[in-house]
Amino acid sequence: MKISILLMGSLPFLGRVAAWGALGHQAVGYTAMEFLAPKALKFVQSTLSASDNHSLGPAATWADTVRSEAAFAFTAPFHFIDAEDDPEGGSCSVDETRDCGAAGCILTAIANYTIRVADTSLSATQRQEALKFIDHFLGDIGQPLHVEAFEVGGNDISAICGGSKTNLHAAWDTGMITTNLAANFGGSSQAWAASLVQEIQTGKFQSDAADWISCSSTTEPLSRRSALSQIINPGRSMKDEIMETIASRATGKITPLACPLVWAKESNAFDCTDVFDFKTGQDLCKGTYFTNALPIIELQIAKQGFRLAAWLNVIFDGATNLP
Ligand SMILES: *[C@@H]1O[C@H](CO)[C@@H](O)[C@H](O)[C@H]1NC(C)=O
Ligand SMILES: *[C@@H]1O[C@H](CO)[C@@H](O)[C@H](O)[C@H]1NC(C)=O
Ligand SMILES: [Zn+2]
């Protein structure tokens, strides 16, 4: 974060440049659209504008386009959480108290905009913004380098993608996704999302999807999972949490929710396994690195799209409405 603070005044883009690039965010949004319950779908379609095709797909990138505007500069820290762990030493962790700065982080942002999207006393514009922030931040939290402080979330690590110079963060946000979509989906995030939706409904993700919205960590071995979820989330569901958060509006206190913390830990765990596991000069967008990383990216995008739908379904329909 040192760098972004130094340059924040004049050159905001040189700090934390990106987020899942546009294609990744759109895929999260398009995936979610297929799992929305009736009231959530109605709210989404009537709230988002025609320029976004009334869809969470195109609307998912708005938060990145405004963060360079002075009026939205305060939202820059909301796109990530700087986990001060040690991925190179094999120690990954996310600690809300340690890692979520005074200016806020993705955990407080999700809580805040969850309260605001449900708040009928706010203006239509404010609720639309809240929806577009949720649409975006539920994507970002699935990107392992948005949950990592090391080398400014990989922004300061040089990398190569498809023969071109880039940095590790950008290779995850954009490079590998663009490579995959060009090769397999005609460059279309919508076509990619359609394939991820099919994997959730009837394919390789079908058996795990229920776990994704249970707020227990799917990176933990099954034998440990229930014990762990008892500690993180004893007997509470995504619904309990969201309802409680929305009700807490009266106190004006923004308390991060347990589910996004579980998701953050899940993403962060990849920083200790695959993300930093390459040699200088190795091309990340081909060969073994790409072959290992792409399934992680697809999993994280599919998961976050499904979770985004579940989240909005709880807020507007009172339950996840998903199997
Ligand atoms: C909206 O949909 C139309 C027709 O499918 C498409 O041409 C256009 O690119 C879409 N706009 C956005 C912002 O995705
Ligand atoms: C919640 O969102 C509003 C609107 O963007 C913003 O003004 C406020 O600072 C946010 N609060 C927190 C704690 O992030
Ligand atoms: Zn972002």
pLDDT tens readout for residues 217-241:
444 444 444 555 555 555 568 888 8
Tell me the pLDDT tens digit for each residue of 148-195.
999 999 999 999 999 999 999 999 999 999 999 999 999 999 999 999
CB-based contact 79:19 (threshold 8 Å): yes
User: pLDDT at position 216, please?
Assistant: 58
Name all domains of the chain by residue range, CATH numbers in brackets: 13-199+259-317 (1.10.575.10)
Which atom of ligand 2 is nearest the CA belonging to 108? 14
For ligand 2, say whether the CB of 108 is within 6 Å of any of its atoms: yes
User: pLDDT at position 11, please?
Assistant: 35
Q: Is 82 a catalytic residue?
A: no
Which one of the listed residues 16, 62, 67, 311 is annotated catalytic? 67
Q: Of 51, 71, 65, whose CA–CA distance to 21 is shortest?
A: 65
Q: Is 79 a catalytic residue?
A: yes
- If you measure from the C-alpha of residue 245 to the centroid of ligand 3, how many angstroms do you get, rounded to a whole number? 23
**Residue 214 pLDDT grade (very low, low, confident, very high; cuts 50, 70, 90):** confident
User: pLDDT at position 37, please?
Assistant: 98
- Answer yes or no: is pLDDT of 58 > 90: yes
**What's the mean pLDDT in 282-308?**
97
The distance of Cα 80 from the centroid of its chain, to the nearest Å, equals 9
pTM for the predicted model, two decimal places: 0.90
